[in-house]
């Protein structure tokens, strides 16, 4: 693509338009600037809500990958890439998941997490190589993240992921009518022009953060990582998480703090197992067997076995 074609492509991007509601922002005082930013930010949740059917489809792809022993792999550059790495990093402490189950790839590598690596997003060959190096395959779901949809690193990575048989999705803030890439599902929250033209770390970044939170949270809930609205596959790696584990067991079973702590230890530090042991007054072995039969879902493990067919 020559310079003129590239210029014209950028000029057409929804994420590169000027916002008519903020033409005068450089002349406003601080409270007025913040009010304009806040007014624009309030439009983001509605834009995401309009995409929920497509988000749901992406969640189903991820659930299928998890059930098959596959992975969720985010691929992005700049702000989008950092958001993918962040969401991946938060899954193990939140859900007790294997750190290799959700992964984030950012153009430019780990250095790009804390400092911009100029030009990394344009390197198609590196996007392709990232998929090959990770041995992406049919069990995996690869989600591309690019506010503008056109990021070469991400587009190339998704192209190779599809060739390797992976499920694919794309999260972008450009209109669905302009989305032409071949993926299984596209999620396109249209947040409109940014407060500052092209600053997609703002509304576009917020929209992507909301979508990624939804995808992993819903996928892990449907993988048995929650009971009611509590996380029950915690990794007690900090005092905060140890206290949350005790409090969860206390809330579900009604025991006191001391008994909750004791049960967690007896259950091999498994909150799920401790809950089943206490609620059903059973041994660790029986609780673990019930959880295995219930595919890890506490609610199903606590349910009485079905009676004989009449």
Active site residues: 90, 121
Which DSSP symbol is given to 7? H
Q: Which residues partner with 75 through β-bridges?
A: 105, 144
CA dihedral sign, ordered 236, 238, 241, 242: positive
76 in Cβ contact with 145 (< 8 Å): yes
Spatial separation of the C-alpha atoms in residues 65 and 61, rounded to whole Å: 6
Instruction: Write the burial class of residue 149 (CB in 10 Å: 0-12 exposed, 13-18 middle, 19+ buried).
Output: buried
Instruction: Write the burial class of residue 303 (CB in 10 Å: 0-12 exposed, 13-18 middle, 19+ buried).
Output: exposed
Residue 51: in which H helix or E strand, if any? none
């Amino acid at each position: 693509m020559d310079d003129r074609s590239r210029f014209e492509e950028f000029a057409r991007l929804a994420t590169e338009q000027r916002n008519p509601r903020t033409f005068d922002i450089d002349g406003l005082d601080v409270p007025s600037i913040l009010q304009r930013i806040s007014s624009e930010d309030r439009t983001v949740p509605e834009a995401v809500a309009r995409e929920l059917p497509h988000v749901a489809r992406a969640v189903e792809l991820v659930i299928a990958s998890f059930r098959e022993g596959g992975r969720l792999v985010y691929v992005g550059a700049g702000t989008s890439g950092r958001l993918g790495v962040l969401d991946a990093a938060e899954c193990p402490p939140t859900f007790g998941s294997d750190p290799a189950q959700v992964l984030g790839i950012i153009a430019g590598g780990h250095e790009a997490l804390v400092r911009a690596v100029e030009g990394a997003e344009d390197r198609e060959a590196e996007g392709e190589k990232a998929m090959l190096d990770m041995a992406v395959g049919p069990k995996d779901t690869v989600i591309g993240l690019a506010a503008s949809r056109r990021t070469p690193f991400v587009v190339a990575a998704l192209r190779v992921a599809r060739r390797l048989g992976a499920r694919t999705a794309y999260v972008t803030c450009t209109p669905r009518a302009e989305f032409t890439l071949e993926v299984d599902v596209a999620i396109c929250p249209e947040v409109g022009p940014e407060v500052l033209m092209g600053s997609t770390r703002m509304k576009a970044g917020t929209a992507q953060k909301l979508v990624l939170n939804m995808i992993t949270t819903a996928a892990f809930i449907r993988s048995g990582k929650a009971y009611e609205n509590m996380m029950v596959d915690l990794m007690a790696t900090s005092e905060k998480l140890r206290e949350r584990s005790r409090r969860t067991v206390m809330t579900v079973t009604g025991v006191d703090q001391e008994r909750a702590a004791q049960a967690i230890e007896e259950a091999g530090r498994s909150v799920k197992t401790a809950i089943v042991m206490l609620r059903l007054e059973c041994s660790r072995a029986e609780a673990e067997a019930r959880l295995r039969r219930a595919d890890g879902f506490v609610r199903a493990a606590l349910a009485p076995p079905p009676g004989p067919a009449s």
